[in-house]
Structure 1
C-alpha cells in the first residue's frame, strides 16, 4: 500500500484545493481526503499511519481536537497539522494542547504552506504568528472547558448557568445547594477569571462555548 497523506476538511472546494497542492508538492504520496472525522478514522483503521495529516479545526459546528489527540496517540511518528481560518490565539493554544505538531492558517500564501509541510515532514513543529491578529472573532464559538479556565467541575456548572442569566437563587435550586454556597463559588469564579461582576465574566467569555465534562454514569 502506497504511503499517503490524509486530509480532513468538510468543505469540498477547500479539501480538493489542499489535495491538489499536496499532490503537486509531494508526488510520491497518495492523497486521501475525508469530509468527516468518522470517515478519517475509518481510513486510519484501514491504511494505518499516514505520512502526514492535515486536519481542519472545524467540522460542521464542532472541532476535530479529539481526532487530533487520537491520531497523536495511535501514530506518534505521524506529523499532524491543524488548519483553520480562525484568527483567535485560543484556537492555536487548543491545537497545541491536543498535541498537534503545527497550525497552518488558511490565509497563508502557498509558499508558506509549502514551508510548513516541509518543516513538519522534517520533524519540526510549525506554529507561526497569526497573519491577521486584528481580525474580528469568527461567529462560531470556540469550545473551552472549566479546567482550561482554571475552574472545578462544580464551578463550571455554576458558570454555565450564569452565562444563561440565572440568578444565585435559581442556581441553588438547580443543584440543590444553599445560596451561600453558590455565592462562595461565584466569588471564586470571579477571582479566577479576574472579573469583578457577572457582566464582566459574560463579556470575557464572548466567543467561547463552555463545554462541561459528561456526568458520571449511575
Structure 2
C-alpha cells in the first residue's frame, strides 16, 4: 500500500520549503514532495500516484491553477486540494471552488490559519474564509449600481480593488490584456478619474464614510 503523502505545487523555493517543513512538523505527514508547475505536477502524479493533500499556488509559471485543479479533481476525487495566493478577492475563491478545490489560504495568513485549513480538509470540511472580502463586495455592488457598470466591469473592479494587475486580471478571465485595459478605461471614465491610484483612493474613501 502506498504511504499517503502531500504535494506542494509552487515555483517559489522559499515558500515551498516553508510549507514542506510545516506539513512535516505539524500536520502529520512523513513525506512531502514539491513540483514547480502544473506540467511537472501531473508527471509526478503519473509516476508516484496521487497525494492525499495538494497545496497549490494559484499563480503558476505555466498559467493559473484552474485547469490543474480540474484535472486532479477528476483524476483523484479523494485528493484534498488547498489553494494559496497573494491575491485577495472573492472571484478567485469562486473559481477554484468550481474547479474542485476544497480550501483557500491567503499568503499573508498566519501559520495557525494554515494549520486550521489543513486540519479542516483532513476532516473532510471545506475552508473558504471570507474575512476581508466582505469589505470589498458591498463597495463593488454599490459602485456597479451607481455607475451602471457592466457585469465584466464589475468583476474587473473587484480585482482592481484587491490589487491585481491588468495582466493577472486577464489571466484570470482568459482574455487579452488589451481587453482588460479597455474595461479599466471604462471604469475610470465612469468614476471621473484618470488612473488606478485616483480610482482606488476615491473608492476606498467612500467605503470609510
Q: For residues 113-171 of structure 1, what are the alpha-carbon distances to aligned partners after superposition, in whole Å with 9 as ceiling and x for unaligned?
A: 1010000011110000144766641224232158xxxxxxxxxxxx9986676xxxxxx
- After superposition, the Cα gap between the structure-2 partners of 1:161 and 1:49, relative to the gap in structure 1 and judged at 3 Å, is closer
**Corresponding residue number in structure 2 for 1:94:** 95
- After superposition, the Cα gap between the structure-2 partners of 1:127 and 1:161, relative to the gap in structure 1 and judged at 3 Å, is closer
Structure having the higher helix fraction is: 2
CA–CA distance in 1 between the matches of 2:177 and 2:14? Answer: 37
- After superposition, the Cα gap between the structure-2 partners of 1:199 and 1:13, relative to the gap in structure 1 and judged at 3 Å, is same
Alignment RMSD (CA, Å): 3.0
CA–CA distance in 2 between the matches of 1:95 and 1:59? Answer: 14
**Corresponding residue number in structure 1 for 2:186:** 199
**Corresponding residue number in structure 1 for 2:158:** none
**Corresponding residue number in structure 2 for 1:144:** 173
5+ residue gaps, structure 2: 137-160, 197-209
Q: Between Structure 1 and Structure 2, how many residues are aligned?
A: 162
Which runs of 4 or more aligned residues in structure 1 lie more than 2 Å from their structure 2 counterparts after TM superposition?
26-29, 130-136, 159-165, 198-204
Per-residue deviation, 1:67: 0.4
Residue 30, structure 1, aligned to residue 17, structure 2: no
- After superposition, the Cα gap between the structure-2 partners of 1:199 and 1:113, relative to the gap in structure 1 and judged at 3 Å, is same
Higher Rg: 1
CA–CA distance in 2 between the matches of 1:161 and 1:106? Answer: 29
TM-score (norm 2): 0.67
